[in-house]
Amino acid sequence: METPFARFVFEALVDIAPAIVQGETASGVRRFIPITGGRLEGPELSGEVLPGGADWQTLRPDGCTEIEAIYAIRADDGAVVAVRNRGLVAPVEGGTPYVRTVAQFEAPKGPHDWLNRAIFVGTLSVANAERTVVRVRIFQLD
């Protein structure tokens, strides 16, 4: 069986607003974090993160957080690509939380169509002390 190789696609610095808490639900505490903009750069894709998306989160009773960010990016050539990035934040005793995501893209036909035909995984971390920017790194599995 072949072992997948993860190829770096881009790093995004995503601007976020304070979380809006929905409250306790049957699944756990729900909140969403508005996405207000940002920039992505990489060998495979560069552009801007468009405002208007959000990261919907469920804080589970076991201490883990399920995340689902839905937003759009505008590539430097003007193409608009929809993004759905789902993942898990798991606490690590005495260390940095484990954060991994699976990103799905919906790109228009043309030079970015390759985004529609691959599997992407990512990492996520807080990028500044004020917690107003997150760093998202996306890799394509080959």
Question: Which structural domain range is residue 98 located in?
Answer: 6-141
Nearest Cα residue to 112 out of 75, 72, 70, 84: 75
Sign of the CA dihedral running 10, 11, 16, 22: positive
Average pLDDT, whole number, for the chain?
Answer: 96
For residue 12, pLDDT over 90 is answered with yes
Answer whether residue 1 is part of any domain. Answer: no
By the 8 A CB rule, do 101 and 109 touch?
no
Domain count for the chain: 1
Answer whether residue 73 is part of any domain. Answer: yes
For residue range 30-65, what is the model confidence (pLDDT) as tens digits?
Answer: 999 999 999 999 999 999 999 999 999 999 999 999
The first and second tokens of residue 127, run together, are 């990028």
By the 8 A CB rule, do 35 and 57 touch?
no
The first and second tokens of residue 108, run together, are 């228009």
The answer to pTM > 0.85 is yes
Answer whether residue 69 is part of any domain. Answer: yes
For residue 1, pLDDT over 90 is answered with no
